[in-house]
């Protein structure tokens, strides 16, 4: 018998719609999140050490994400009762890197039948046939997939990088620019490459305050 083929939405695709039971009640996606950015992330199972550190970190940053018009949604192939017990344990017993008494108030999806996980390609047979891999989907206010990140079961995610990427995409959308390697908020940004030779020549020769070129194809706008 052939193995079930794993599919996943790609960058630019519509994020698959779903209705799910969560620790915060039923949610309908994308209807309940119109006009907002969403970070949808999966974890292998409840009561696992790496996931515990990730959830504590995400929960401690939830206010920061909300200020960026962004909501968090977690997912695990576990029951709602397991979710509640695990989140209660985190709040009452776990301390990590100075974080303690951490309450997870973003929704965590119950996905025992793997309905949502399969729509998003979160179950990959060669990694595990019973657990969701560590996937992160950043979805924009129009419910389009904008970024996809996958991590192995053994290694935790860098939440600061996820936030940095979100900030970079929001800035690109707002200003029509790109961001260079290792960009951080406040640093110079890239002006999109010219569409013709004439424009390229003008760009290099023209002196414009706040802008500078390293060559015809790579020009920056100063941010400070």
Single pTM value for the model: 0.90
Number of other residues whose CB lies within 10 A of the CB of residue 220: 17
Residue 134 parent element (H or E): strand 134-139
What per-residue confidence (pLDDT) applies to 114? 87
Among 190, 196, 186, residue whose Cα is nearest residue 175: 190
Question: pLDDT tens, 19-30?
Answer: 999 999 999 999
Question: pLDDT tens, 80-89?
Answer: 999 999 999 9
Is there a cis peptide before residue 89, judged by omega within 30 degrees of 0?
A: no
Lowest mean pLDDT: which of 57-61, 150-154, 169-173, 196-200?
A: 196-200
Residue range 100-104: average pLDDT? 96
Is there a cis peptide before residue 191, judged by omega within 30 degrees of 0?
A: no
What per-residue confidence (pLDDT) applies to 124? 66
What per-residue confidence (pLDDT) applies to 192? 85
| Catalytic site positions | 51
What per-residue confidence (pLDDT) applies to 29? 98
Percent of the chain whose predicted confidence (pLDDT) is above 90: 70
Both tokens of residue 210? 């706040």
Question: pLDDT tens, 167-195?
Answer: 999 999 999 999 999 999 999 999 987 66
> What Rg value do the Cα atoms of the chain yield, rounded?
20
- Cα–Cα distance between 46 and 85 in angstroms, integer? 9
- Cα–Cα distance between 185 and 18 in angstroms, integer? 33
| Residue 134 marked in a binding site | yes
SS3 label, residue 27? strand
- What structural domains does the chain harbor? 18-157 (3.40.30.10), 176-224 (3.30.1020.10)
Question: pLDDT tens, 121-136?
Answer: 887 666 555 566 789 9
What per-residue confidence (pLDDT) applies to 1? 40
């Amino acid at each position: 018998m052939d193995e079930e083929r794993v599919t996943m939405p790609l960058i630019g695709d519509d994020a698959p719609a779903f209705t799910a039971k969560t620790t915060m009640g039923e949610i309908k996606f994308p209807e309940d999140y119109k006009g907002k950015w969403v970070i949808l992330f999966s974890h292998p199972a409840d009561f696992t050490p790496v996931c515990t550190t990730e959830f504590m970190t995400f929960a401690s940053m939830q206010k920061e994400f909300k200020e960026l018009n962004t909501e968090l949604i977690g997912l695990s192939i576990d029951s709602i009762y397991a979710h509640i017990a695990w989140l209660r344990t985190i709040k009452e017993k776990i301390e990590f890197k100075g974080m303690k008494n951490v309450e997870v108030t973003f929704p965590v999806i119950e996905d025992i039948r793997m309905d949502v996980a399969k729509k998003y390609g979160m179950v990959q047979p060669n990694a595990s046939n019973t657990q969701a891999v560590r996937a992160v989907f950043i979805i924009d206010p129009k419910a389009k997939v904008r970024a996809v990140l996958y991590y192995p079961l053994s290694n935790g995610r860098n939440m600061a990088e996820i936030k940095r990427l979100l900030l970079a995409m929001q800035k690109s959308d707002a200003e029509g620019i790109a961001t260079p390697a290792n960009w951080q908020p406040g640093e110079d940004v890239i002006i999109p490459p010219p569409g013709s030779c004439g424009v390229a020549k003008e760009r290099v020769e023209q002196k414009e305050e706040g802008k500078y070129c390293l060559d015809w194809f790579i020009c920056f706008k100063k941010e400070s």
